[in-house]
């Protein structure tokens, strides 16, 4: 990883290259972070780099899944930066347990190229974002700020790989009943094909606000919190396809 960015230079820092447009930084607030990585040297290096940012504070480090759950409960971090392959308790199970806590915790997954299956499991379990371990420190800092603000973020290259992998799994799955209306299903299929809200609105002759409203209903019905989670679940269950139909 390379040098850490200089932090929020203004109230709305753009996030080029990532899903999740901007994030607002409130003066005087610090984002508390728990690092969960099997390699202690990696965690120590990340701590040193992240704590150069005035709005970030590393409150703990852990090297296994059960410990991540325990420290998330005890230390109450805002963001847990978790390696996709933690030993012990399966990372996906750790994410599910963390997401059941009364206090909201956001989980950012760090993964490597070729390990999309594990990243997919964690996103389906409720993780709030996923980037490559090889990402720059600037991208890591931005990702932490974005998910701490309650937004979803995923490296675009990684997201497409995960969606393709899920589509291959879903193609062989037995289709389950679709809980969505015809219009909602249409929007979800377009999202699976990579269209953003603006392009979906143009395609279906709707306003962007109406499209956002539809996705709100979709998230509620599917019990997910992001477009990527909804598409992943739809692909897994055979409801949508990545093909242009």
Q: What is the pLDDT of residue 9?
A: 30
> What's the helix, strand, coil split of the chain in %, to 5?
45, 15, 40
The class that CATH gives domain 12-159 is alpha beta
Q: What is the pLDDT of residue 67?
A: 94
**How far from chain centre, in Å, is Cα 110?**
10
Q: What is the pLDDT of residue 175?
A: 53
Closest CA to 107 of 121, 116, 115: 121
Kindly give the residue spans of alpha helices, DSSP state H, lying in the chain.
40-50, 65-75, 91-99, 116-125, 137-148, 156-171, 182-192, 197-204, 208-222, 227-236
Q: What is the pLDDT of residue 8?
A: 34
What's the pTM value of the predicted model, to 2 decimals?
0.69
Q: What is the pLDDT of residue 167?
A: 56
Q: How many other CB atoms are found less than 10 A from the CB of residue 243?
A: 10
Q: What is the pLDDT of residue 243?
A: 61
* Parts of the chain with a pLDDT under 70: 1-28, 163-177, 241-245
DSSP-derived letter for residue 175 is P
The class that CATH gives domain 173-236 is mainly alpha
Q: What is the pLDDT of residue 142?
A: 93
Domain-by-domain residue ranges, the chain?
Answer: 12-159, 173-236
Q: What is the pLDDT of residue 124?
A: 78
Q: What is the pLDDT of residue 217?
A: 92
Q: What is the pLDDT of residue 13?
A: 37
C-alpha to C-alpha distance for 126 and 129, rounded to whole angstroms: 9
């Amino acid at each position: 990883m390379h040098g850490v960015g200089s932090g929020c230079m203004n109230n709305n820092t753009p996030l080029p290259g990532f899903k999740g447009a901007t994030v607002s930084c409130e003066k005087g607030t610090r984002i508390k972070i728990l690092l969960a990585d099997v390699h202690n040297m990696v965690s120590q290096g990340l701590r040193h780099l992240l704590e150069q940012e005035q709005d970030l504070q590393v409150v703990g480090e852990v090297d296994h899944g059960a410990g991540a759950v325990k420290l998330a409960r005890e230390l109450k971090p805002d963001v847990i930066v978790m390696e996709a392959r933690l030993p012990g308790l399966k990372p996906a199970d750790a994410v599910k347990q963390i997401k059941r806590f009364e206090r909201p915790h956001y989980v950012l997954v760090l993964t490597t190229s070729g390990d999309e299956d594990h990243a997919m499991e964690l996103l389906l379990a409720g993780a709030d974002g996923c980037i490559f371990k090889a990402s720059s420190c600037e991208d890591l800092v931005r990702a932490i700020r974005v998910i701490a603000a309650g937004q979803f973020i995923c490296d675009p290259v990684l997201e497409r790989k995960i969606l393709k992998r899920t589509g291959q799994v879903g193609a062989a799955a037995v289709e389950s009943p679709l809980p969505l209306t015809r219009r909602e299903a249409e929007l979800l299929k377009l999202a699976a094909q990579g269209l953003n809200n603006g392009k979906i609105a143009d395609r279906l002759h709707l306003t962007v606000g109406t499209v956002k409203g539809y996705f709100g209903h979709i998230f509620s019905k599917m019990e997910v919190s992001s477009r990527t989670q909804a598409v992943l679940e739809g692909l897994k269950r055979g409801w949508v396809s990545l093909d242009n139909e």
